[in-house]
Amino acid sequence: MPDLKTEEMVVQMGPQHPATHGVLRLEITTDGEIVKKIDPHIGYLHRCFEKHCEVLNYHQIIPFVDRCDYLAAMNNEHGYVMAVEKLLDIELPPRVEYIRVIMSELNRIASHLVALGTFGLDIGAITPFLFTFRDREKILDLFEMTSGARLLYNYIWIGGVAFDLPNGFVEKCFEFIDYFLPKLKEYDDLLSYNKIFIARTAKVAIIPPAVAIEWGITGPNLRASGVDWDLRRDEPYSIYDKFDWDVIVADGRVGVLGDSWSRYYVRVLEMEQSANIVKQALEGLPSDENVKSAVPRKVKTKEGSVFFRSENPRGELGFYIISDGSDIPHRLKMRSPAFCNLSAISDIGEGLLISDLVALLGSIDIVLGEIDR
């Protein structure tokens, strides 16, 4: 029935909608069940992050960076402090680098767990969500042990970290890794190879690699399209080159390359790699050193600018900092990964069914806090 046309209807999906992962409004023009046009409206969570940065000193910005991507606060802090350290001449104690990598990778697992759980939730699988949150809780316990906070840590500081690892952390973290790795099989049984899940996600909302690059899509979403690119390996920062791990690139084993299922499964496999990195970092952790020895009391940066990006769970997190030599940045621009990933939705989402649009939105894993900043 190709000639049969219905009257177009505009549907407002959001701002309060469970599938939009926060306050996002998609203005969808529909033709029956088919999405004709998407106009995303963002900014509901805009908190003037960049304007705040122009009146705060470099240390004071860290808690704000936390609140941008509240599901991966450690990764955000890590990216930010490395950008600032580029403008300073600081020699970091090796223990600090190890602690930072442990925290970032644990946070990556925690963030992917939320992504997978809520993705399942979006398309009707409620149980896996409970399982992923059960495991995420254990990571948050570890964070609480080290920093005292469960969501927004203010833990990674310029030139160091706020506290050394508490007694018993290493053992507890090993315990977690041993507990966690077998759980991946559980997710596979529950969700990844579930027939209904595959029917809902495989070959749905395909992003070809060229389109992904054109729109600036990064991170797991880019690797799900088959592009072999990970900043941790290709532009190594911190001490990632010391560890033995693999970059996960989708192979389209179910469905095709770049579909929603690939985007989901890249994250599952990435969690395994992150757990491996944490394990190696724990084994190689240098013994006691003062983790705050290099923290500058007052940050006096070089005059100039730096653009530094790091691999966040959602993609490449960039910080463009322009310094005029004072302790307050002249300009700080955050290139947030989810902002770029979401911008492609109006292109990719056209022609999908409304229910598949939900699968697309869930699989690109957005956090509105960092899109709106």
Residues that bind other proteins (CB under 8 A): 42-43, 46, 48, 50-51, 54-55, 86-87, 213-216, 227, 229, 234-235, 302-307, 309, 316, 318, 320, 322, 328, 330-331, 333, 335, 339-340, 343-344, 347, 372-373
Select 70 or 169, whichever has its Cβ closest to other proteins.
70
Instruction: In angstroms, give the least distance from the CB of 86 to other proteins.
Output: 7
Select 280 or 323, whichever has its Cβ closest to other proteins.
323
Instruction: In angstroms, give the least distance from the CB of 75 to other proteins.
Output: 17
Among the residues of 225-259, which ranges form H helices?
231-234
Structure tokens at 123: 């398309």
Q: Which of 168, 101, 112 is nearest to 141 (CA)?
A: 168
Do 330 and 28 meet the contact criterion of CB atoms below 8 Å apart?
no
Instruction: In angstroms, give the least distance from the CB of 270 to other proteins.
Output: 19
Instruction: In angstroms, give the least distance from the CB of 48 to other proteins.
Output: 7
CB within 8 A of 97, min separation 6: which ones?
Answer: 238, 239
Instruction: In angstroms, give the least distance from the CB of 184 to other proteins.
Output: 29
CA 364 – CA 353 distance, rounded (Å): 17
Select 52 or 242, whichever has its Cβ closest to other proteins.
52
Select 122 or 311, whichever has its Cβ closest to other proteins.
311
Q: Give the amino acid at 319.
A: F
Instruction: In angstroms, give the least distance from the CB of 316 to other proteins.
Output: 7
Alpha carbon separation from 81 to 165, 213, 296, 304 (Å, rounded): 19, 27, 12, 16
Instruction: In angstroms, give the least distance from the CB of 15 to other proteins.
Output: 13
Burial class from Cβ neighbours inside 10 Å (0-12, 13-18, 19+) for residue 333 reads middle
Select 36 or 333, whichever has its Cβ closest to other proteins.
333
Select 33 or 214, whichever has its Cβ closest to other proteins.
214
Select 58 or 119, whichever has its Cβ closest to other proteins.
58
Among the residues of 42-152, which ranges form H helices?
49-53, 58-68, 73-86, 94-122, 127-147
Q: Which of 144, 264, 149 is nearest to 197 (CA)?
A: 264
- Strand-pairing partners, residue 27, are 12, 39
